[in-house]
A and B are shown apart, each in its own frame.
Chain A
Amino acid sequence: MTTTTTGLGSAADVLAVLRDLPGVDQVGLEARAAALSTRSIKKGAKRTAIDLAISMVDLTTLEGADTPGKVRSLAAKALRPDPSDPTCPQVAAVCVYPDLVATARAALGAAPVGVASVATAFPSGRAPLDVKITDTEYAVAAGASEIDMVIDRGAFLAGDLLKVAEEIVAVRAACERGDGTHAHLKVILETGELATYDAVRRASWLAMLAGADFIKTSTGKVSPAATLPVTLLMLEAVRDYRDATGRQVGVKPAGGIRTTKDAIKYLVTVNETAGLDWMTPTWFRFGASSLLNDLLMQRQKFETGRYSGPDYVTID
């Protein structure tokens, strides 16, 4: 394996780091996540949390039926989540397939909303490496500011951890733009297929050592997608990784987060696990589609004191 961006070096070193990671006790991890879920976030704290959550949304459409029209309306929603309220924050990014990146970028214009693109034979990742790299290069050339890649779960489960790491390093290289900047790389672990928490911790570290800017739970195409215990574990991983290396990595739970109540549980977990430094769209994102409208309805309730209903928020 080539030298990783962390400078942690050789394959043997990487494998040693992974071997030395502490185990995860399933019962204890899930109990901690459940305890964090009982935090009561009310009044001003809830208002703050809703706006923060909106600003962290990667507004997503990943369907075979996606069209330029669909992506343009998604982009419009990203720019003006609540057309009736100009104080409503914009989302962090829209998330589309590579062939629709250019459409999304054009629709967003110069607004500070990113375009994230899933690449690397999303969602299965079952394609040769050069296909994955071409996929990534295409999306970056079309204007993607962020690439959401999938790891090779087959290789991971078969024990070929170096193959997983080498692919991440190669895709990370494909994110380079030539002017010294790079599209930010989010690495999807597809935790629902990794099956154990120990594997999730190992995969998180493997991705970070190989140069991930973000680690992401799921594609959204596999059940279970994001869960609070898995996200808690990944937040512990980025916290410990920064302590060990000095490099900060972001976390993105994706799939199945549909309500404000759920989003707030995630924010509380970020707040009490990784801490304040991650309480920004720069380092934490929600991969979501229907979540945004629930956040907007809750936000409108603060303005009017009443729940408005689904016809008072826009569909895309």
Chain B
Amino acid sequence: MRFRLTDDQRALRDGMRQLLARRFDGAALRGAAERPERLDRALWRALGEAGFFALRLPEEQGGVGLGLPEAVLVFEEAGRVLLPGPLAATHLAAGAVPGAATGETVVSAVDGGLVEWLAEADVVRGDAPGAVPMRSLDPLTPLHRVPGRAAAAPDPVAVLLTAAEQLGTAARVCELAVQHARAREQFGRPIGAFQAVAHLCAGMLARSETARAAVYAAAVTADPLDIAAARLLADEAAVRGARDCLQVHGGMGFTWESEVHLHLKRAWVRTHRAGGVTHSEEALAAALTAGAA
């Protein structure tokens, strides 16, 4: 057992982090939130060139030929910066939909009763007749509701990639909270010196690091139960982490200018993807009586 990132994996993660820092920094995020419903096609193609969508496609099909652990690392980076767009759907379409692997084609998919980025997508996988636009809670994720759709069993890879994005949010909001707690002074000292604030931050780290171990392990084993568990842990770490980050930011956290609300809103959107938490909870419960604990 060597449950550590390899040098190659570290390099891949760092490379993706640098690319995103160049192409989608904090200013770009706030800019995108001001003019929602438009996807940056040049960025999408840059992601394609970097292998984001073709990462798991075999080399003989023009892909990068890597595996789930690497996909999880780049999706975590996407989650950290709140990269908009149907990332998982396009990634899953690589090799099946022309242009998806290179980022030329934006692919979305019907997921339960919802479709993300329907108007901007070139291809929508699944049946979406009568899709009705919603006024999406997340300014960076346009949503359509598809009436009368029963939730099918989710693709475990879609579940895992969603968990990876949630992990990115969980880690990022912990960093944002800690930065703020170190810098912001009240009563003559940094608020991070107050135990109540310090303990909120420590709780955020404890949740995100537990989620990290679960998400990475699920990427290695590809076991559907490991994936379901990773999803629940990552959802919890992202949603509670974003809430606590907002709390640490105090009144500033409740403004549109702070990016904290964007993390919480995206985390909420992701909890409804790929079967939602209920499916994962029921799958893990069912496994208990099948003796697979």
The judgment on whether A and B are partners is no
